[in-house]
């Protein structure tokens, strides 16, 4: 089940601007928040996700068709 969560987190990091901004601002806090909201990740997966470069996520997001993107019009997720 955890691999499914990893795939959903990565997909959302690339397609959801607010999600991506929150991760870039505080990866540890973001991953804690995910856990509090039912996203089950192992310690190894959390460590691996923390190592993802937010600039690379943004770069990849810029290459995806805008119709697949979710813009951050509200200033971030709560």
At residue 19, does pLDDT exceed 60? yes
Question: Please, what is the average pLDDT of the chain?
Answer: 89
pLDDT tens column, 38-51: 999 999 999 999 99
- Burial label for 21, CB within 10 Å (0-12, 13-18, 19+), is middle
Whether the pTM exceeds 0.95: the reply is: no
């Amino acid at each position: 089940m955890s691999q499914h969560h990893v795939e959903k987190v990565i997909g959302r990091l690339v397609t959801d601007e607010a999600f991506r901004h929150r991760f870039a601002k505080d990866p540890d806090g973001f991953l804690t928040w995910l856990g509090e909201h039912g996203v089950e990740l192992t310690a190894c997966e959390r460590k691996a996700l923390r190592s993802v470069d937010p600039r690379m996520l943004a770069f990849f997001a810029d290459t995806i068709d805008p119709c697949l993107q979710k813009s951050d019009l509200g200033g971030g997720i709560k």
